Amino acid sequence: MPKRTKSYEAGLHERLQDPSYAVEYLRAALEDDEEGADAVFLLALRDVAQANQMTRVAEATGLNRESLYKMLSGRGNPGIHSLKAVLNAVGLRLSVEVAGDKPTPLLPGGSVPVGRAG
């Protein structure tokens, strides 16, 4: 009797329906700082959108499916409004947190405070 197994993609999409798993998946994609990292994040977001039925996501964002696939391709270049719309459609939202290496704050006009350069 043949063993029945799920494809990797089917299993991934099943796990990505859990919002907590989707958040960690997207965070992991954002941790890559190398060239092409933006494409990695967009492809990860596409996985999340597919896990949540791309047609439903397209309807919720007001985009057609073809535009959504193009936007979430490795060559996509979505604006912040579109990213927020996709995240909202899958039950997530964009947030910002303090980086591990805190940058030196700039004074008005863009100058660095005395004694804080470098």
* 110 located within any domain: no
pLDDT score for 20:
96
* 115 located within any domain: no
* 111 located within any domain: no
* 25 located within any domain: yes
Residues 6+ apart with CB under 8 A from 110: none
* 3 located within any domain: no
Work out the end-to-end distance of the chain between its first and last CA atoms, rounded to an integer number of angstroms: 66
Average pLDDT over residues 53-70: 95
Runs of H (alpha helix) within 3-118: 8-16, 19-30, 37-51, 54-61, 65-71, 80-89
Contact assessment for residue 72 and residue 52, using Cβ atoms and an 8 Å cutoff: no
* 101 located within any domain: no
* 107 located within any domain: no
Q: Tell me which residue range forms the domain holding 33.
A: 8-89
Indicate the pLDDT class of residue 96, thresholds 50, 70 and 90.
confident
For the chain, the domain total comes to: 1
pTM exceeds 0.85 for this model: no
Amino acid identity of 38? D
* 105 located within any domain: no
pLDDT score for 14:
96
Contact assessment for residue 70 and residue 29, using Cβ atoms and an 8 Å cutoff: no
